[in-house]
Amino acid sequence: MGIRSILSKPLAAYVVAKQKKWMARSAEVQAGWRKTLVEKATDTAFGKDHYFKDIRSYDDFKQAVAVRDYEDIKDYISQILDGREDVLWPGKPLYFAKTSGTTSGTKFIPISKESIHNHINSTKNALLNYIHETGKSQFLDHKLIFLSGSPELKEKNGIHIGRLSGISTHHVPAYLQSNRMPSFETNCIEDWEEKLEKIIDETINQPMSLISGIPPWVQMYFDRIQARTGKKIKDVFPNFELFVYGGVNFEPYRAKLYESIGKKIDSVELFPASEGFFAYQDKQGDPGMLLLLDTGIFYEFIPIDEYFNEKPTRLSIEQVELGKNYALVINNNAGLWGYSIGDTVKFVSLNPYRVIVSGRIKHFISAFGEHVIGEEVEKAMKFACERHPEVELIEFTVAPMVSPAEGLPYHEWLIEFATPPKNIAQFAEDLDKRMTELNVYYDDLITGSILQRLVITPLQRDAFITFMRSQGKLGGQNKVPRLSNDRKIADVLGKMV
Tell me what the mean pLDDT of segment 124-138 comes to.
Answer: 95
Q: Identify the CATH assignment for 365-496 out of 3.30.450, 3.90.1280, 1.10.3470, 3.30.300.
A: 3.30.300
pLDDT at residue 102, rounded to an integer: 42
Q: How far apart are CA 69 and CA 170, in angstroms?
A: 28
487: pLDDT strictly greater than 70: yes
pLDDT band for position 33 (cuts 50, 70, 90): very high
pLDDT band for position 53 (cuts 50, 70, 90): very high
pLDDT band for position 21 (cuts 50, 70, 90): very high
pLDDT band for position 104 (cuts 50, 70, 90): very low
Task: Quote the Cα angle for 199-143-133, to 5°.
Answer: 130
pLDDT band for position 100 (cuts 50, 70, 90): low
Tell me what the mean pLDDT of segment 291-302 comes to.
Answer: 98
Q: Report the 10 Å Cβ neighbour count for 400.
A: 22
165: pLDDT strictly greater than 60: yes
If you ran DSSP here, which 8-state letter would residue 389 be given? T
Chain centroid offset of residue 5 CA: 28
Q: How far is CA 474 from CA 5, 214, 414, 439, in A?
A: 35, 12, 19, 33
Q: Report the 10 Å Cβ neighbour count for 184.
A: 13
pLDDT at residue 315, rounded to an integer: 98
> Average model confidence (pLDDT) for the chain?
91
pLDDT at residue 144, rounded to an integer: 94
Least reliable range by pLDDT among 61-75, 309-323, 435-449 = 435-449
pLDDT band for position 397 (cuts 50, 70, 90): very high
In one-letter notation, the amino acid at residue 352 is P
pLDDT at residue 477, rounded to an integer: 65
Least reliable range by pLDDT among 43-47, 93-97, 110-114, 374-378 = 374-378
pTM for the structure as a whole: 0.83
103: pLDDT strictly greater than 50: no
Tell me what the mean pLDDT of segment 456-477 comes to.
Answer: 85
494: pLDDT strictly greater than 90: no
Tell me what the mean pLDDT of segment 71-78 comes to.
Answer: 95
Q: Are 116 and 95 in contact (CB under 8 A)?
A: yes
Q: Is 376 exposed, middle or buried, given 0-12, 13-18 or 19+ CB atoms closer than 10 A?
A: buried
CA proximity to 482, closest of 400, 371, 364, 402: 364
What is the share, in percent, of the chain residues with pLDDT greater than 90?
69
Using CA atoms of 480, 482, 486, 488 in order, give the dihedral in degrees to the nearest 10. 20
Instruction: Please report the DSSP string for 283-327 in residue order.
Output: STTSSSEEE--SSSEEEEEEEGGGTTSSS---B-GGG--BT-EEE
247: pLDDT strictly greater than 80: no
pLDDT at residue 175, rounded to an integer: 67
465: pLDDT strictly greater than 60: yes
Contacts of residue 264, defined as CB under 8 A and 6 or more positions apart, other chains included, come to 258
Task: Quote the Cα angle for 467-472-475, to 5°.
Answer: 80
Q: How do residues 401-432 score in pLDDT, each as one tens digit?
A: 988 888 899 999 999 999 999 999 999 999 99
End-to-end CA distance of the chain: 51
Tell me what the mean pLDDT of segment 93-101 comes to.
Answer: 85
495: pLDDT strictly greater than 80: yes
178: pLDDT strictly greater than 80: no
Tell me what the mean pLDDT of segment 100-113 comes to.
Answer: 76
Highest mean pLDDT, choosing among 163-177, 212-226, 409-423: 409-423
